[in-house]
Amino acid sequence: MSFSTAQRHTVLLLALCQGLLLTNTVILMAVNALTGYMLAENKMFATLPAMTYVIGSALSAMPAASFMRTRGRRRGFMSGSLLAMLGAVVCAVAVMAKSFWGLCLGTFFIGCYNATGGFYRFAAADAVTGPDKARAISLVLAGGIVGGLIGPESSKLTKDWLPVTYAGTYLSLVAFAVLAMALQSRLKLPPLGIEKTDEPARPLAEIARQPKFIVAALSAAFGYGVMNLLMVATPLAMNFCGHPFKEGVFVLEWHVVGMFAPSFFTGNIIKRFGALPVIVAGTVLNLATIAIDLSGTTVAHFWFGLFVLGIGWNFMFIGGTTLLTETYRPSERTRVQGFNDMLVFATMAISSSSAGVLVNAQGWSTVNYTALPFIVSAMLAALWLSFRSHRAT
């Protein structure tokens, strides 16, 4: 089964929007912790701007879903881009004024943009039918590789644009948000209203008790949380190990390639083998990442560890998202999608706040040991559901 012309156009636009969203994210990945370390009086709070970015995402996920249900996805996406512009300007001004808390406020607004962008993959799933949902989700997320190519280079070029280091980098985010809004304005997406033929919506608690929902949410939340924990801590850990900024950018660039390059084929793998085996494979790759990280602290160790981590995240996140689409009715989708992303971003907020404290106080090894039980939990949950499904058939 292949996409129609209209579906291909929609998936392409969403993939480009995803690329711009990830350009924004990768730039923040490269500079947030370092800027926080530069501005914070207590260096333990260096990763707080990264945490407020994720808090903004977590707190706005459900309101964004509700807004999109009543006003449409396109308006929701464009509103997120406006918040990104506001946040970028606030961050740039805060860095110029050497205001740590101003920086946190700006990243909070940009986090709201990240929350609206999280619905790109669900918009793709809504635009197609049947087994091609996984491929549509995967192809949209593949657009993130654009961020892996543009984001790191942009952060290097704009680092010293303005008199205060990194201020120009934050200001450059305005241009990417403007371009994203131009693409969003051309989207033609199906309405999200409830049709008369739709089954009535169930209580959210009932939906969340489904085994499929539990495994899908654990895969997405723990996969993203662990990835975020290691990713946020990496620039600081590399800095402590004496590696220059350009090497940190190089490592993050390849991490994002690992995150999104597999998306060109992850959907087809899920279509053939199912979501659960792909989730399990993702957890195995995450365990491999921890083994690599614990074996040394050269640039090569950081590079290979974060690259493998990116692939593991890709399998866990796309597998979890695909599994989630099997847990709700059309009348329930926006609430369930928003609730799922709220769980993901809440987990990321905890991991972001923990990253700076752990790497400063306990070191890089402790950061990796902290990630271990969460990956094992996601693996066991997926194996349990797979065994349960086989018994049922």
pLDDT digits (tens, 9 = 90+) for 148-163: 778 877 887 888 888 8
Nearest CA to 119 out of 179, 71, 172 is that of: 71
Tokens of 359: 């790497």
Phi, psi of 130, rounded to the nearest 5 degrees:
70, -150
Segment 367-378 mean pLDDT:
93
What's the pLDDT score for residue 196? 53
pLDDT band at 90 (very low <50, low <70, confident <90, very high): very high
Task: Give the C-alpha separation, 383 to 380, whole Å.
Answer: 5
Question: What does the pLDDT look like over 319-365, one tens digit per residue?
Answer: 999 999 889 888 888 889 889 988 988 888 788 777 767 877 778 88
Task: Give the C-alpha separation, 134 to 320, whole Å.
Answer: 10
Going from the C-alpha of 169 to that of each of 89, 126, 158, 360, the distances in angstroms are 11, 35, 5, 25
Q: Is 15 exposed, middle or buried (0-12, 13-18, 19+ CB in 10 A)?
A: buried
Tokens of 385: 């559901």
What's the pLDDT score for residue 280? 96
What's the pLDDT score for residue 130? 66
pLDDT band at 200 (very low <50, low <70, confident <90, very high): confident
Are 228 and 370 in contact, with CB atoms under 8 Å apart?
A: no
- What average pLDDT is seen over the chain? 87
Are 318 and 138 in contact, with CB atoms under 8 Å apart?
A: yes
Count the helices and strands in the chain (H runs, E runs): 16, 0
Task: Give the C-alpha separation, 371 to 276, whole Å.
Answer: 21
363: left (phi over 0), alpha (psi -120 to 50) or beta: left
pLDDT band at 1 (very low <50, low <70, confident <90, very high): very low
What's the pLDDT score for residue 92? 95
What's the pLDDT score for residue 309? 95
Segment 288-300 mean pLDDT:
92
Helices 120-127 & 333-361 angle (0-180, nearest 10): 150
First to last CA, the chain: 26
Question: What does the pLDDT look like over 96-138, one tens digit per residue?
Answer: 999 999 999 999 999 999 999 989 988 988 888 767 777 888 8
Question: What does the pLDDT look like over 9-67, one tens digit per residue?
Answer: 899 999 999 999 989 888 887 788 788 888 888 877 777 888 888 889 889 988 998 89
Instruction: Supply the DSSP symbol for 41.
Output: S
Question: What does the pLDDT look like over 222-266, one tens digit per residue?
Answer: 998 999 889 878 887 888 888 887 787 788 888 888 988 898 888
Helices 263-273 & 299-324 angle (0-180, nearest 10): 50
Nearest CA to 322 out of 285, 269, 283 is that of: 269
3-state DSSP: the chain helix, strand, coil percent, rounded to 5? 85, 0, 15
Segment 206-216 mean pLDDT:
94
Residue 228 has, within 13 A of its CA and on its CB side, a CA count of: 27
Task: Give the C-alpha separation, 249 to 303, whole Å.
Answer: 10
Q: Which domains does the chain have, with CATH numbers?
A: 5-392 (1.20.1250.20)
